[in-house]
Amino acid sequence: MGKYSLLIVSALIFSMITYSSALRNATFMSNERMIQSHGHNQAHNIAQSALAFALRDLQENGGQLTIPSDGTVDIGPTAWPELNGSFTIRLTNSINDDNMLHVISTGFFDDHAYRVRVGLIPGGGGGGFPWPDFTNAIHSREDLSFANGTVHGNLYTGGKFSIPANATINGDVVAVNQDLDEVVQINSGTLNGSLYTNTTKPNSISFTNWGGTITGNLYVGPGADPEEVAPNISPWHPGHVNGQKSNVNGIIPPQEIPEPEFPTISPTPLNYPSIQLQGNTNGELNLMAGNAFIPDITIRSNTSLTINVGDNVRTLRLNNLDIQQGHLNIITQGDGRLEIFVENNFNIGGSSSMNNNNNPNGNERSPKNLLIAYSGSEKLTFGGAQSVNANFFVESADVELTGGSNFNGNVITLGDNVSITGNAQNSARMLYAPNAHVHMTGSGRVLGSIITNSFSAQGNALVSYSEDYKDTLPDLESESTGSQAYSIAYWN
């Protein structure tokens, strides 16, 4: 062998050694990141759960925690053996500063810590509804099925999680159910993240297609063998899990979904006749003087009704609201806003708009400007080139977002069914439906967060987590059984 051949061989050997070392380092760093992600998630779960217990105590039990008259009280650290971690609670009563009770919950797991802060304002009737600080793209109390399409963000389910087809999940999945014989089923889809479960039953995590993949880690319940819980589809399969297979250190606790109350109607001392606009006639309604009742409002034929509330919070009570190719404009100053209660029928047709006008002195086109509280029984449907910037609270009716609608706001519903179809766009907001089944088909998308009882998606659905909804959630009441009530000022 010549000297040049020896040089080439030596170079190849050096390259292979260098590549092997780099591959080991990359694998080590990837595993290290996965471990860190698990520790961060566990610390987060502990902090959020401890805070939920503290808020429940303050809101429902009349304040069993020791609240300082002025100053700070620290509680803990308190061990949480079931989660192999601990937590602390700090209560700061700043009555001489901002008259708020500040609550800080810190969760600890291994070397990781996660902190959550809430500001509470004493009084205010039943207190403000404690919007949860969910960090998931989808939170489903029961089953969660995502067949096709894409998710950007984490998923949580208290039932069965499944990818029946080839969906891509870019985030972690937490499935806390311990009783089901099958907790997770993955067909040809990909989970670009880790899977956290409490399950210990053999074959309770199944791969039904050769291509089913988890790029991160797989965690099963304490003491279980991951190979028995989640076997490969075939003895000849190289492995569906690219990362580690291990056990959770403690049972992952379920996350509660609080249920808001449908808003109560403020007194409406002013009474006006019905409004019907069509042809070339636009209208104006000044509510600077106070809340009002109007039997019916009809806006058609590209006409506009402009309602001015100034810097006030005003209530408008209606029997029926019918907008067919019409426009409902809202004029506010500062943080002024309008709450419309529709008691019977609400229809909004194609090419219509709500709160989509210029409003330079207020929160222009912000969902905070307009809350629609709908207590009728007919399905509430959005579709057909509509532009809507509003928050909706639906008491019991079904909700449908169809192709062509451009809905920018939050939907809160206590009903049983929500469907998102076609090219519907619910941009950067929350869909809060704790009692409903949410079904997505076609190319519907949600940019925000979905809170639901159960969930399914088919077609080219897209759910992408965003925190933008936090600044646009409506202020809602919450009933309290204790002697002291609080409203939520901030949560971060």
Measure the CA–CA gap between 58 and 188, rounded to whole angstroms. 47
Note whether residue 333 is domain-resident: no
In this prediction, residue 7 carries a pLDDT of: 35
In this predicted structure, the answer to whether residue 123 has a pLDDT above a threshold of 70 is: no
Note whether residue 94 is domain-resident: yes
Phi-psi map region of 377: left, alpha, beta (phi>0 left; psi -120 to 50 alpha): alpha
In this prediction, residue 139 carries a pLDDT of: 96
Model confidence at 15, pLDDT cuts 50, 70, 90, reads very low
Same domain as 175, residue 109: no
Q: Which of 230, 247, 264 is the last residue of a domain?
A: 247
In this prediction, residue 8 carries a pLDDT of: 35
**Mean pLDDT score, 214-234:** 96
**Mean pLDDT score, 290-318:** 96
Same domain as 153, residue 62: no
Same domain as 166, residue 75: no
Mean of per-residue pLDDT scores for the chain: 84
CA 44 to chain centre: 16
* pTM for this model (two decimals): 0.79
In this predicted structure, the answer to whether residue 303 has a pLDDT above a threshold of 60 is: yes
Note whether residue 314 is domain-resident: no
Q: Which residues touch 190 (CB under 8 Å, ≥6 apart)?
A: 166, 167, 168, 169, 212, 213, 214, 215
Q: What does residue 464 show for φ and ψ, rounded to 5 degrees? A: -125, 120
Same domain as 152, residue 107: no
Same domain as 205, residue 168: yes
How many domains does the chain divide into? Answer: 2
Same domain as 243, residue 162: yes
Work out the number of other CB atoms within 10 angstroms of the CB of residue 162.
Answer: 24
Q: Which residues touch 85 (CB under 8 Å, ≥6 apart)?
A: 42, 43, 46, 79, 107, 108, 109, 110, 250
In this prediction, residue 253 carries a pLDDT of: 84
Q: 39-53, 300-314, 335-349 — which is least confidently predicted? A: 39-53
Domain residues for the domain of 107 are: 23-122
% of residues, the chain, pLDDT over 70 = 81
- The 3-class SS string of 121-178 reads EECCCCCECCCCCCCEEEEECCCEEECCCEEECEEEECCCEEECCCCEEECCEEECCC
In this predicted structure, the answer to whether residue 482 has a pLDDT above a threshold of 60 is: no
Inter-residue contact 415 to 436 (CB < 8 Å): yes
In this prediction, residue 61 carries a pLDDT of: 54
- Evaluated on CA atoms 9, 14, 15, 17, the torsion sign reads positive
- Identity of the residue numbered 458: Q
Note whether residue 130 is domain-resident: no
Same domain as 140, residue 241: yes
What is the gyration radius of the CA atoms in the chain, in angstroms?
Answer: 27
Measure the CA–CA gap between 292 and 271, rounded to whole angstroms. 6
- Encoded tokens for 309: 């509330």
> Highest-confidence range of 48-57, 199-208, 425-434, by mean pLDDT?
199-208
In this prediction, residue 82 carries a pLDDT of: 67
Reported as a single tens digit per residue, the pLDDT across 102-113 is 888 898 988 888
**CA dihedral of 480, 115, 216, 438, whole degrees rounded to 10:** 20
User: Could you tell me the CA-to-CA distances from 282 to 279, 326, 329, 348, 479 in Å, in that order?
Assistant: 9, 10, 11, 17, 41
Q: Which of 247, 281, 316 is the last residue of a domain?
A: 247
Reported as a single tens digit per residue, the pLDDT across 316-374 is 999 999 999 999 999 999 889 999 999 999 999 888 999 999 988 888 888 989 999 99
Reported as a single tens digit per residue, the pLDDT across 454-477 is 999 998 999 999 887 777 888 886
**Mean pLDDT score, 118-129:** 61
In this predicted structure, the answer to whether residue 22 has a pLDDT above a threshold of 50 is: no
Measure the CA–CA gap between 348 and 370, rounded to whole angstroms. 15
In this predicted structure, the answer to whether residue 261 has a pLDDT above a threshold of 70 is: yes
b/e per residue 33-53 (b: at least 16 CB within 10 A): ebbebbbbbbbbbbbbbbbbe
Same domain as 232, residue 144: yes
Side-chain half-sphere exposure of 318, counting CA atoms within 13 A: 21
Same domain as 238, residue 145: yes
Note whether residue 161 is domain-resident: yes
In this prediction, residue 488 carries a pLDDT of: 63
Same domain as 103, residue 205: no
Model confidence at 174, pLDDT cuts 50, 70, 90, reads very high
Same domain as 183, residue 230: yes
Q: Which residues touch 336 (CB under 8 Å, ≥6 apart)?
A: 309, 310, 311, 312, 313, 314, 362, 369
User: Could you tell me the CA-to-CA distances from 98 to 93, 119, 120 in Å, in that order?
Assistant: 9, 10, 10
Same domain as 141, residue 235: yes
Q: Which of 247, 272, 296 is the last residue of a domain?
A: 247
Note whether residue 191 is domain-resident: yes
Note whether residue 424 is domain-resident: no
Note whether residue 42 is domain-resident: yes
